[in-house]
Chain A
Amino acid sequence: QSALTQPPSASGSPGQSVTISCTGTSSDVGSYNYVSWYQQHPGKAPKLMIYLVNKRPSGVPDRFSGSKSGNTASLTVSGLQADDEAAYYCSSYAGNNNYVFGTGTKVTVL
């Protein structure tokens, strides 16, 4: 199995929006609505931000939203804040009780 493809980096100024893509195949992202997104600050464990493509766990601001089209899922962070600067990873069910993560995107708040 191959990791899902994410851009290595993305950036935006405070208050702006940034969208991160997560491209898989018809065997993972394209076939299942089991896409999740995680935020990871340096030296910390990842934190769940989005699950089932577009659901937000309790406590996650509505500035974070998810979507999917075909083999590509996306995470949008609106109203960027300094604390949003982190690495973001997508994940998808890949069939046969197997899961795959994305390559990760480092978001910089300018």
Chain B
Amino acid sequence: AQSVAQPEDQVNVAEGNPLTVKCTYSVSGNPYLFWYVQYPNRGLQFLLKYITGDNLVKGSYGFEAEFNKSQTSFHLKKPSALVSDSALYFCAVREGNTGGFKTIFGAGTRLFVKA
């Protein structure tokens, strides 16, 4: 079965500093990887995805993620954090076949950006 791990429950970073939110995955085939963000009392918002191609994926709000096949990682990064980036971040893998798909989410990492 496919799985996703987010080893950090919480990440603290100062505004203006670079941030990294870690994610590792376990899949049996080609990984379809996603990052979502959840702001308080709201649903999840799509940030970016890796399907194939370039290992560095760029997404919304200045976020990017690096796919590393040998380390089975898909870390989320941003060069300069903003206070407004404070939220709950989920890494996810999509699994299934033409008969149906489901998304497996990591436990989530809460990001705090301090002014």
Whether chain B is bound by chain A comes out as no
